[in-house]
Structures are given as structure tokens and as C-alpha cells.
Amino acid sequence: KQEVTQIPAALSVPEGENLVLNCSFTDSAIYNLQWFRQDPGKGLTSLLLIQSSQREQTSGRLNASLDKSSGRSTLYIAASQPGDSATYLCAVRRDGGSQGNLIFGKGTKLSVKP
Amino acid sequence: DVKVTQSSRYLVKRTGEKVFLECVQDMDHENMFWYRQDPGLGLRLIYFSYDVKMKEKGDIPEGYSVSREKKERFSLILESASTNQTSMYLCASSFLSRETSEQYFGPGTRLTVT
């Protein structure tokens, strides 16, 4: 059974720092991995999608990497800002089986202090 | 921009009531999903649909049913609401194609059953 783990559960950093969020999954048979951001009481905003054949994706100050064989992904945030404060979730799409549903980690709650 | 909307942001219902949660997407996506999100448990899939009138059970379908009469609309139905169904409900949609299967989420409905 696929399990997705995100460590740490919470992270507090000063503004301007570069940081890395971690995501690991137990079954390497994934089709893709998606990173989301969730603000308190709100829905999820998609940040990056990495296909299993890709190694990384970049969007602005965000860079996500994927090492499928070791079951790991990282989300790198450069020059963090207070507006980056949110919970970050990673999710993997299983390869085969059900039509595209995702398995989620429990998230990392990020706080960026001014 | 992809838009997924949900009928209510907040809902309060009494035990035993029949509850309808509506979700509409405007991107002609084939797939639609209903998740619930609870502290400490993360997001869990309730039901999904990959075509009109087609549905499949997710990980926690008990106590729920769904309806998809039109491609853009996916309804979640709580046949007889119970207090353990108090939760945040999130709808999502995506294309069926694996190559473009990024999931987009609505703003969520916080349901309280008293």
C-alpha cells in the first residue's frame, strides 16, 4: 500500500532563507508527483507537477525534484518570504489501477518570519 | 485559468439530514474527485468519476454517494448526516489523459453536523 510521508511536520524560518521540504513514498510505481500549497481554511493550489520520467520542475522561486528509485521528492523554495507561509502537501498518482486519484502526505506547515 | 467552484464555503446541518455538496468545473475535465480532510488524517478520497454517470469508490465511501449527470458537475450526497462526517470537503478535477493529469481543487466546504 502506497504511503506518503512529509518531514518535518512544521518548519519556521526567517525571511530570505532558502529551504527544502521533503516528501517520501513507499512504492516507486508512481505516474507523477504533485506539490500543492494550502492556506488556512482554503482549498489546495497546485504548484508543480513532475512526471515520473522527469527529474525536476521549476516555477519561479520553486524547484521540485524527483528521485523515483529512492522514493523521494524535494521542494526547494528560494529566498523565502512571509507570503510563502502555508501548508505544503505532496501527492503521488499511482501507476495503473484507479483513474488518477492521488495519495497525499500530511503536509509540512511552513512559517516564514519577517 | 482552471476554475473549480463549490456551492458553499460553510454548511451547518443536523444529524440525520440529507446533505448535498455541489462541485462545478469549467475546464471540460473528464475526472472529478471528492476528498475529505481531517486534522491528523490528511486528505482521503471518498469517490471519483471519470465520465458522466460513471463513478468509483475511493478509500472511504461509506455513508456517501455521488451523482454526475453532466460533465461539469459532480455532487456528493450524505444520505443521513452524522457527527463523524463533520469535516472539510474538497472537490478536484483533472483531464483523463495521464500526460495532463494535474489536479485542480476547489475552495472547500467546511461542513459541521450537530
Return the HEC string of chain A.
Answer: CCCEEEECCEEEEECCCCEEEEEEECCCCEEEEEEEEECCCCCEEEEEEEECCCCEEEECCEEEEEECCCCEEEEEECCCCHHHCEEEEEEEEECCCCCCCEEECCCEEEEEEC
* Nearest-neighbour CA in chain A from B73: distance (Å): 18
Q: Does B90 touch chain A (CB under 8 A)?
A: yes
The pLDDT of residue A6 is above 70: yes
Residue A74, all three cell numbers: 524535494
SS3 B91: strand
The pLDDT of residue A95 is above 70: no
* Nearest-neighbour CA in chain A from B113: distance (Å): 17
Residues of B in contact with A49 (CB under 8 A): 101-102
CA atoms of A51 and B8, how far apart (whole Å): 33
- Among A11-20, B39-48, B88-97, top mean pLDDT goes to A11-20
Q: What's the confidence (pLDDT) of residue A86?
A: 98
Q: What's the confidence (pLDDT) of residue B99?
A: 63
Residue A4: which of A55, A68, A64, A71 has the closest Cα?
A71
- Give me chain A's average pLDDT, please: 92
Q: What's the confidence (pLDDT) of residue A94?
A: 74
Could you give phi then psi for residue B71, rounded to 5 degrees? -60, -35
The pLDDT of residue A78 is above 60: yes
Q: What's the confidence (pLDDT) of residue B11?
A: 97
CA atoms of B86 and A7, how far apart (whole Å): 27
The pLDDT of residue A19 is above 80: yes
Instruction: Express each pLDDT in B49-83 by its tens digit.
Output: 988 988 999 889 999 999 999 999 999 999 999 99
* Nearest-neighbour CA in chain A from B43: distance (Å): 6
CA atoms of A70 and A8, how far apart (whole Å): 18
Between chain A and chain B, the number of residue pairs with CB atoms below 8 A apart is 63
Q: What's the confidence (pLDDT) of residue A45?
A: 94
Q: Are A46 and B31 a contacting pair at CB < 8 A? A: no
Residue A58: which of A76, A71, A45, A33 has the closest Cα?
A76
Query: Mean pLDDT, to the nearest integer, of A65-72?
Result: 95
The pLDDT of residue A96 is above 70: no
CA atoms of A6 and A51, how far apart (whole Å): 19
Pick the range with the lowest mean pLDDT from A42-56, A69-83, B9-23.
A42-56
The pLDDT of residue A38 is above 70: yes
What band does A107 get if pLDDT is binned at 50, 70 and 90?
very high
> Of A32, A101, A106, which has the smallest distance from its Cβ to B45's Cβ?
A101
Residues of A in contact with B31 (CB under 8 A): 99-100
